[in-house]
Structure formats: C-alpha cells, structure tokens
Amino acid sequence: MKGWIARVRAGAGPLALLGVLTLAAGTLVVGAPRIANKLTDEGLRNEISQLSYTSRDLTYRGPKPEDATWTPGRRLEDQKTVFYPALRERVERSWWAASTVPEQSPVRGTGLPERTPPLFSVRTGSGFEEQVDLVEGRFPKTAPGSAGALEVVLTKWNAEKLEQRIGSTFRFQDQVTMEVVGIVEPHDEADTFWEPVPTGLRAYLPNDDGDPYRAVVFTDEAGLARVARLAQVVYEWRYRIDAATLDLGVLPDVVEATSVARRQGLETTLVTGLDGALARFAARARAAQALLAVVQLGALCTLAGLVLLAARVLVTRRRGEFALLRARGGAILTIGTYTLLESLLVIPAAVAGGLLGVALPGRPALTWPILVAFTALAVLAVPVMTMRIARDPSFSGERADVASARVGAKRRTAELSLLVLAGLGVWLLRKRGLSETGEVDVYLAAVPALLAAGAAVAMVRVVPPVVGRLGRLAARGRGAVGFLGLSRAGRTAGAVIGPVAVLVVAVSTAVFSVAVAATIDAGRDRATDLRMAADVKVDGYYFDDRTAAELAAVPGVTAVAPYALESAGDIMIGEQRRGTVYALVLDGPSYARVLERSGVAYTPPAAFTGATQGSMIPALVSPEAARQLGGEAGMVTLRGRFYEFTVAGVVDGFPPIANGTTNFVVLPLQAIPDNARQALLPNGFLLAGDPDPAALRAAGDAGQQRWASAGYDARAYEPVTTVTTWDQARAELDRTSVNALITFAYGIGAGTGVLLALLAIGFAVVSGARGRGTVLSRLRTMGLTRGQGRRLLLVELMPVVTVAVLTGAVVGVVMPQLLAPALGLAAFTDGLEVGVTFDPVVAGAAVALVLIGMLTALAVETLFNRRLRLGEVLRLGSFDAGES
C-alpha cells in the first residue's frame, strides 16, 4: 500500500491532469446532450404554441346524416378513443361545435343594412358558457319543437357595433325569427376557444360597397336544429395537443399517430397541419443536432488527444523507474499492472463528471457508452504506454530529434490510413449528409476532426525542412538565439506531433464553429434583405393616394415605394385559367431608390426598373409561373381587373415577396396605363431611412381611415397599420425554434477549442522541456541571459505553434466549404441557400491565439524550470539524475 501511495505521489501531477480531463469529458458527454435536448424541446414547444389552431389542433369536420343517432358530445369521446396512444395521451382539451354555413345565413332586422343583408352564422357547441360572463339577459333555452323566436346571444362588442340589444329581433333567411336574449363578455379573447370564430368576438365590418357584415351568434343545440332545414350545418370536433408533453424523443410516434389519424375520422375529414409542422421541425432539429455532434466530437477527440499526451508525460517521467524494474526481473505485464492500479484513480473523476452532467437540466440522452469508452481510454493509456516502454528499457531515454528522423513503415501506414479515412469521410458526407436516417453517424461526424489530424500530419512532414533552412540562414547572422531556436525547432518538430495534432484539431473545431456561425448570420442577413427589401415596411388593408407623401414627410424617411400585393391572383391565357399566383405591383424607379438608400444587397432587373408604358406591360415572373404560361404573354387578375402582360424576365425571387414563394408575377406600376391604375391602391410601402415607427403608424392609420371614409360604410372601421423594421425581421429569424441549440453548439466549439488549444501548447512546451533545460543550463555558462533564454523558447516554439494554429484555422474555414451540402445550413436561413462566409475576425483571432499561446508557453516553461532546478544540471548531469 505504501508503495502504491509513493507511486501515485510520484505521478500526482499527470494523474491529476488525467482526472481533470476525464471529468471534463464526462460533463461534456453526459451534460451537453441534456442541455441540447432541453433547448430543442423548448424550441419545439414554442414553435407548436405559436401555430394557428388550423395547424396545431386536430379538427374533424362533416355533416350529420339525417338518420344518424349519435350525439356530438358522445362522438367527441368516440373519436378520441380511436387515436393511437402517442396522440390520445397528449390531448389537452377538446370541444365540439356546429354552425350554419355563413353564405347561407343572411338576416334582416332593425339597425342592419338592407341593401346587403348581413351574414349571421348560428353556432352552438361545448364550452361556450364556461368561456363568457353574462353581462345582460340570459343564455338561450330553446324548447324542442317550439314555434317561438329562436333565442341567441352575442358578445358585447358585436352588440354595440351592430346596434343590437336585449329583445332585438331579426329574421334568418326571412323565415325564422331570432331574438337576442343575452349579451356576454369573453373571459379572455386570446383563448384558443375563440380562434375558429373570430367574428363571434368581433364582427367583420365591411370596407367595400356590397360587402356584407359577418358575425356569429350563439344558441343551444335545439335552437340550431330549427335552422338546420334552411342552411347547411357543419359539425366539428376539435382536439388540442398539449405542447408541454412534446419533445424530440416522442416526435416520430406523434407524427405517425397524426398521419394515421387522417384515416381514422368517423364519417368526417381531418383538418390539421400538425404532422407537417412536426416533420419540418424534426428536419431542422436533425440538422442542428448533426452540427452539434460535429462540434462535440471535435472537442472529445481533442480531450482524448490530451489524455494520451498526459499519459505520455507520466510514463516518460518514470522511464528510469520502469527500466530499473525490468533490470531487476520485473515482467512487462506486472509493471503494467502497477500503473493500471494507479490510473484507476481516473474512474472517480469520470463518475463525478457524469454526475455533473446528470445534474444539468434537460432530457437524458444515451451517451453513457461514450463516457465508458473514454474512461477506458484514460485508464488504459498509462499501462499500455508503460508496457511499450518496458519492452525496450533505457536509463538515458532517447533524443527527440533523432527519434523524429526515423519514420517507420507502421507510422507511415497509420498516417496514410488517417488521410484515406478523412478523404473517404468527406466523400460520404457530401453524398449522404450527416443524418440521412435521422441518427448521427459517429464516423461521419468525426470527419472534420480526421481532416484536422491529417492536416497536422502533413504539416509535421513539411515544417521541419523549411525551418531547418531558416536555421541555416540564421546561422549567417549575428547572435546565437535565432540559430539555436530554429535549429531545435527543425529537429524537434516531429517529436511534438502529438501536441501539434491536438492543437490543430482544437483550433479547427473553434474556427469551424465560428465560420459556420458567421455563415448562418450572413445568410440570415441576406434572407432579411430579401424578405424586407427596405429598412422599414408598412402594411395595412388599403391606403389612399396621399399616404405615400405623408410617409415621405415623416422625419428620417429618405425614400418611399408604394406597392400592391395580392396573394390569390389568377394568371390566364385568353379565357383559360392557368393557376393562382402572388401578384405584386411596384413602382420600379421608387423601388430602386429605396434599395439604394437602404443598402439592401439586391439589384432588380433593368427590364423592371426601366420599364415604360407601351402596348403590353413587361412583367417579371417566377419559373413556375413561366411554366404555367408556356409562352411570353399572359393576363393576371388583380382586384377584379385584368392586366395583360408580356414576360420580360424570369426570376427565382423578388423582394418583398416571401422567400421560397414559387409562383408570382411582378408588374411595374410605371408601365401600367394611367386609366388602369384606379384599383391599384397600395396596401403596403417600402421605406428607406430610420424613422419613428409610431409616426409611421399614425400616418398609415390616417391614410387607411381616409380610404375607408370614402367607401361604403366606415362608421366602425378601425385601421390597423403594421410597421416592421429590418432589425425586427432579422430578430425574428434569430428566434427560430432551433436557434438556441445552434448558439449552444458553436459556443461549445469555440470555447472548448480555444481552452484546449492553449492546453495543447502547454503540452508542446512540456514535451521538449527536458532537452531545452539542459541546453539552457549549458548556454548560461557561456553567458546566455535569462531574457535570451526566453527568446530562445519563443523562437523554438513560434514556427511550430504559428503554423499549427494557421493550419487549424485554414482547416476550420475549409471544412464548411467541403461539407456545405451535408451541413444543411439553409434550414437556419429561412430556406435561402448561402455560400460559406469568411469572417475576418477569424484571422485576428488566430493571431491573438498565437500570442496568447506564446505567453502560455513562457509561463509553463518558467514553472517547469523552477520545479526541476536547472542550476543542478551541470552538477548532476541530467534531470533524471536530479529527480532520482
């Protein structure tokens, strides 16, 4: 026991370092996936929570057959029963409802317009009375078979705007008398209960002449039955999924259950977008987790390299001890067992790291096998290296510069195999991607680390001859520091291949993280430019002709371009309809000024900005619209009018039409005849400058109010002007569901990369410290000062460290270029395919890392020399003698 304690004390420093590295690996392996799962699950729940009810909920719709015996409440439970458990267990709330089709629900009554009868849909269902407070009157109580008035209630807002009160009557299709018996106030207008019936809360108040009022009035089931013979009644059963119960682990089962639910309707049709939304999120999450796996494996490979270096330092320091044991007849296996018992102390550190990881918040991931493998590496590295050294015992050690000159066939084979594995991995990555089957391939995720290690091997083969030549040139100059430092650097570069490889992998991981993060940022900037096409965008229903001038007069506005955008215009050839498109009308010269003054990186085609009035309007169309037209001319309907155009160009996108829109037609306003512009009032404006959003909103509201005042009935019109700045649109992209995971991934990559790179530089110093200390001690007898000794260290390490850092930086920048098809960065940039961006900060960071690395080297060298007592070298002859 005393001997074991003595041996542990002799190697306490390297053993402690092994423990710290294993502790860090345990925390990284167990904790990082938990945090990643937490961020991913939060992003999923946030994204699902923001979906509209038509996408988030499962809504079954259908009529009730005349011979049906079921009740809606009972059918609500029966439908839920047939769901798969993965879906049924996550149903948070459910409702049934039945209502008349609005188009078949005209009413006439006191205070209501006579020329265009309002459309009052009659509705009943579960949960209504629990969602409202009775302000006045009572709830409907229609007696079955009653011939009296059909009793209804409506909200307070609707009652005021529609000029209805308790006792007001109106006739449904001029046949059934309806009487208002109650006025209610919703508890929470934002509650999901009201999403399917917004006009039940606030009636639609028409803005155009001939457009009817639309509202929903509520009755009981017996009351709805009285109008069912006059209008079609649609039943619906709605199930809300609890977003809090969703996570990435159950996502496949929920997607499958939702897809199957489309075929499980009981004589009804399912309306939902939940399965599609979940599948799209899963695709983005897979891409983000694949990127996280690349960064994690890079950091883990760096930690593994540092473990091997720490084990090598421990074994090298005790070379004389192992040689003495062999000389006394000790078996190789016995010596290895001694060191195995010592390295078992690493296991508690691994357990502690795993427990630290478990303590972090998040859903657990199956990563314990990786931690076990890493712990086995840390435990076995020392005994394996010990037994290797014990096979060829030596009391004097070996010269690093001589050893590095001998490159055997085994080492060459290993290096070539590494390069082949890296090259094959790149090919497979570009062909298959990182997560083709949904599971991350460990080998493919490790390809960047293999590339970095291969680059380090190539660097170690290239640097020594170059540095040797520089050393010979330095010999011609004055002073010995440059010559000695470069000569040692050329001879010992091969001996520090371990620290150099670790340094290159660490730096490449950090630079890869920064490069991909910069690429995503640049892609989002570009996507925002294409989404906005201006510094500010103002949207509304319709604005009058004076609004553009009033917006231009707002302080800070430097250019204004009005536009008219319709999302459902028809494109036609003659009288034949070919499809539905986004139709955009925009003034070309004004648009060009806005783009120029806002600095948006987009240049519109000259055929658009320079278009003039002629026989046909020159238009830009999308490739899909061009295919539908099949020629060079066509016609598009816009606000009830037909505009004939000729195709002046085919473009993949056109701001401010949303990114990814595949079917659109863009008409230049300046090329449309003056007598055909009456219907083209703007519903939006693109602005350059930095104005006050509140002032823009006020000007927009005034413009909409003036337009409404000139229309059919504006007595209750409430204008809503939306002002969106470029920064707001950019921030929206940053709030995407997996953005937090991406930030976390590249935070790990950059942070651990820099820290482990500095640690690798420390190992590079330690690996050559003995020989360097001997040289310094002897040179000091010849007059070498301490300052010259430090400069000698810098000259010796600077070439290797600088080239290693630059090699890692180059590999980190090149890797995204090589792996671009596999990274799937478009999932994080609003679907926009972007090239990899080089951030100049990377170059500055590389230089800073070299400088910090040199300071680290000086600090480590100083500590090492003080501990090993350089002044005793001449008296004792070597460090080994001093330590023994």
Count of helices and strands (H, E) across the chain: 34, 20
Amino acid at 170: F
Match 């482990």 to its residue by tokens: 756
Question: pLDDT by residue (tens digit) across 168-199?
Answer: 998 888 888 899 999 999 999 888 999 899 88
Amino acid at 882: G
274-317 and 12-26 are packed helices; what angle lies between their axes, rounded to 10 degrees?
Answer: 180
Do residues 72 and 124 touch, judged by C-beta distance below 8 A? no
Q: Please return the burial class of 538, using the count of CB atoms within 10 Å of its CB with bins 0-12, 13-18 and 19+.
A: buried
pLDDT > 60? residue 875: no
Compute the distance between CA of residue 108 and CA of residue 14 in angstroms, rounded to an integer: 91
Residue 572: count other Cβ atoms within 10 Å of its Cβ. Answer: 18
Reported as a pLDDT band with limits 50, 70 and 90, residue 315 is: confident
Match 């407070």 to its residue by tokens: 133
| Average pLDDT over the chain, rounded to an integer | 82
Compute the distance between CA of residue 486 and CA of residue 471 in angstroms, rounded to an integer: 5
Measured between its terminal Cα atoms, the distance across the chain in Å is: 21
Task: Provide the strand spans (E) within 337-445.
Answer: none
Nearest Cα residue to 224 out of 123, 336, 81, 133: 123
Match 């490739």 to its residue by tokens: 623
Write the CB contacts of 793 (distance below 8 Å, at least 6 apart in sequence). Answer: 485, 765, 772, 857, 858, 861
Nearest Cα residue to 38 out of 745, 741, 750, 742: 741
What would the mean pLDDT of 60-89 be, rounded to a whole number? 90
Residues in the chain: 884
Compute the distance between CA of residue 568 and CA of residue 667 in angstroms, rounded to an integer: 15
For 447, the token pair is 């390809």
The most confident of 435-449, 469-483, 759-773, by mean pLDDT: 435-449
Instruction: Say what the pLDDT of residue 35 is.
Output: 92
Max CA distance (Å), the chain: 122
Percent of the chain's residues with pLDDT above 90: 23
Percent of the chain's residues with pLDDT above 70: 82
368-391 and 319-327 are packed helices; what angle lies between their axes, rounded to 10 degrees?
Answer: 60
Phi, psi of 123, rounded to the nearest 5 degrees: -135, 145
Reported as a pLDDT band with limits 50, 70 and 90, residue 712 is: very low
Q: Please return the burial class of 851, using the count of CB atoms within 10 Å of its CB with bins 0-12, 13-18 and 19+.
A: exposed
Interior angle at CA 289, CA 287 and CA 292, nearest 5:
115
Nearest Cα residue to 609 out of 584, 583, 589: 589
Question: pLDDT by residue (tens digit) across 614-657?
Answer: 778 888 888 888 888 876 678 887 776 788 888 888 888 888 88
For 98, the token pair is 């039945």
Which segment of 56-70, 366-380, 387-401 scores lowest on mean pLDDT? 387-401
Residues forming beta bridges with residue 97, ordered by sequence position: 125, 236
Do residues 505 and 763 touch, judged by C-beta distance below 8 A? no
The most confident of 214-223, 419-428, 487-496, 759-768, by mean pLDDT: 214-223
Instruction: Say what the pLDDT of residue 550 is.
Output: 93
Residue with more model confidence, 835 or 296: 296
Do residues 646 and 616 touch, judged by C-beta distance below 8 A? yes
DSSP string, 313-356: HHHHHTHHHHHHHHHTT--HHHHHHHHHHHHTTHHHHHHHHHHH
Which run of H or of E encompasses 743? helix 739-767
Instruction: Say what the pLDDT of residue 4 is.
Output: 63
Instruction: Say what the pLDDT of residue 153 is.
Output: 95
Residue 613: count other Cβ atoms within 10 Å of its Cβ. Answer: 12
Reported as a pLDDT band with limits 50, 70 and 90, residue 868 is: low
Task: Provide the strand spans (E) within 417-483.
Answer: none
Instruction: Say what the pLDDT of residue 879 is.
Output: 42
Question: pLDDT by residue (tens digit) across 643-699?
Answer: 888 888 888 888 888 777 778 889 998 888 887 777 788 989 999 999 999 999 999
Helix (H, G, I), strand (E, B) or coil at 760: helix
DSSP 601: S
